[in-house]
Amino acid sequence: MKLSVGFIKSVLNVYDEMSENGISIVYLGEFHHQITKMFTSMAEEDMDRKDEQRSTIRKVYSVMVETLQNMARHSDEITDKYNIGKGLFMIGKKDDTYYIITSNKVSNQKKEDLEKAVLEVNGATRDELKEMYRKQITEGRISDKGGAGLGLIEIAKRTRNKLVYQFLPYDEHTQFFLLKVEINARKISE
């Protein structure tokens, strides 16, 4: 790799943008159990150093686990024979809000179902989310990748916020699915 002036400027721009937005961890690559463990541990230590309340740490931790598991299980960019998904993960804090951003490739065929699921979760009341969760636990089926379809519901229940998402076309068969989850530390402590 050549360290050209253009490349160095791009890196500095990315660094400045991430610093401005309070991003503390960024990772691009495979997602599996050890990676999830490493990130949750790093984030937990960082929140402890900042004297964050235990309730906030627990909530951020659980949302991180859900988002990372979703990426590991549902990315359509599989890296090896072990069916390990690949994607992008970021966590940051600005003002009183933690945010987790994930992005992974999904096939055009899966986009419609995924968008429908996000819209359904975003349109549900707190009680409806509880009922959706209960129904999925009792009647849902386990996917080939080990999921029961609870991740998005669980994230919305825990954060009490809408899921911010976007699909960006990658190529003729694939989309990038971006998911942003916000956890307001002040709202948790009130």
Domains belonging to the chain, first-starting first, are 21-189 (3.30.565.10)
The angle that helices 33-49 and 54-74 make with each other, rounded to 10 degrees, is 160
pLDDT tens digits, 108-117: 988 988 899 8
pTM of the full predicted structure? 0.84
Residue 113's pLDDT is what?
87
CA-to-CA distance for 186 and 56, rounded, in angstroms?
9
Residue 127 has pLDDT above 70, yes or no: yes
pLDDT at 146 over 50: no
Q: How do 97-107 and 174-184 pair as beta strands?
A: antiparallel
CA terminus-to-terminus distance, the chain = 50
pLDDT at 165 over 90: yes
19 pLDDT band, cuts 50/70/90, is: very high
The lowest-confidence range among 18-22, 71-75, 122-126, 162-166 is 71-75
